[in-house]
Copies of this chain bind each other. A is one copy, B any other.
Amino acid sequence: MQAKIPVGILGATGIVGQRFIQLLEQHPWFEVAWLAASERSEGRSYVEAVRWKMKTLLPEHTARMVVSPATPDGAPRVIFAALEAGIAAELEPRFAEAGCAVISNSSALRMQADVPLVIPEVNPDHIKLIECQAWRRKSGGFAVTNPNCSAIGLVLALAPLEQQFGLETVMAVTMQAVSGAGYPGVASLDILGNVIPYIAKEEEKMEEETRKLLGQRNGAGIRPGHFRMSAQCNRVAVEDGHTESVSLKLKKPTRPEEIVSAWQQFRSLPQELKLPSAPERPVIYLSAADRPQPRFDSDTGCGMAASVGRLRPCSVLDWKFTVLSHNTIRGAAGAALLNAELLKAQGYLE
């Protein structure tokens, strides 16, 4: 039995940081060895620094760990980063520069040309962009990112359609859970019995990330996917799980059974490699007329599968459907963890 790889968590006290701790608790390959958060938390034990919001108990071992300063000194090589974009823009390059493998959930570097934005089932080959990073050449460090929580479920549903039929146009309207805004995040006075039709920068992220994820590697960068994409983002009074109403136009005429079959049959590299966090089936089609629903379907595949339903013709584009995925598991910590597993499987973490 091999020793586990020690990993660190940057931004360990936030909602996504807490998810990392929860998901890593029993992980076969990785173990939490280092936690960092804002200055306010430095030097305190994690249990004192955190307002634990997961439904499982805070692991004893982690509870007693002392929160380190957010600098590369003393940090392990493998770093999961769960930072706000502004701070990430400053800290992530510093860790990559220092030789760390920065596996980030932040938006800071996602659209940088030489930084891979990866969903292992969708574009695992983008990970090779690492070799183009200056950090890599200097110190061996690098940065890999996963997409925004609103983009990832959509792209899982789009990927098999893009592969088999080609995408021409995609329009998505989201109804996003409050946990996507972190903690304390959305005030209860703002969301009880309400819908907020605005999430800052979310629509821009969805549009550009979706096209990068479904794009082609092209030398030291990515040529974005050749389809048009429009997003509208809303916040609703749901705890976990982003629901999206999608319309799309495909390049080929297609029958609905073919689309459902493309989703149901979809398997990819993480499934072949049997990565520990890979869901058996990345996309699950539900035939009930009123599914997926966040309260019932967010946890499908341990929160790592996208649930799709309601495929029907669209009288403007070709097809309409609903997609749902868990925003802090598949949409954040679980996404980064699967990226880490892919990196490990491909030798990048040695």
Contact = CB atoms under 8 A, between A and B. Distances in A.
Interface of A: 15, 53, 55, 169-171, 173, 175, 178-179, 183-198, 207, 228-230, 232, 234, 236-239, 243, 245, 247, 289-296, 299, 309-310, 314-317, 320, 322
Count this chain's copies in the assembly.
4
A209 to B, nearest CB: 14
Contact of A316 (B229, B291, B294): B229
B197 A189 contact: no
Main secondary structure of the interface of A (DSSP, over half): mixed
Contact of A238 (B178, B195, B232, B309): B195
A295 B194 contact: yes
Contacts of A295: 55, 192-194, 239
A315 B179 CA distance: 28
A55 B307 CA distance: 14
A4 B69 CA distance: 57
A149 to B, nearest CB: 15
A195 B243 CA distance: 8
A186 B189 CA distance: 8
A280 to B, nearest CB: 13
A245 B245 CA distance: 10
A245 B188 contact: no
Contacts of A195: 175, 236, 238, 243, 293-294
B193 A192 contact: yes
A190 B99 CA distance: 39
Contact of A245 (B189, B194, B197, B238): B197
A126 B244 CA distance: 37
A193 B228 CA distance: 32
Given A171-B171, A175-B234, A195-B238, 8 more contacts: A173-B232, A178-B189, A188-B190, A188-B191, A192-B192, A196-B293, A198-B290, A230-B315
Given A184-B189, A188-B192, A295-B193, A320 B198 contact: no
A196 B55 contact: no
B234 A243 contact: yes
Contacts of A292: 197
Contacts of A322: 197, 232
B228 A316 contact: yes
Contacts of A185: 187-189
A229 B315 contact: yes
B237 A192 contact: yes
B290 A197 contact: yes
B171 A316 contact: yes
7 contacts: A15-B189, A169-B316, A179-B189, A195-B294, A229-B316, A236-B237, A237-B237
A194 B316 contact: no
A146 B331 CA distance: 42
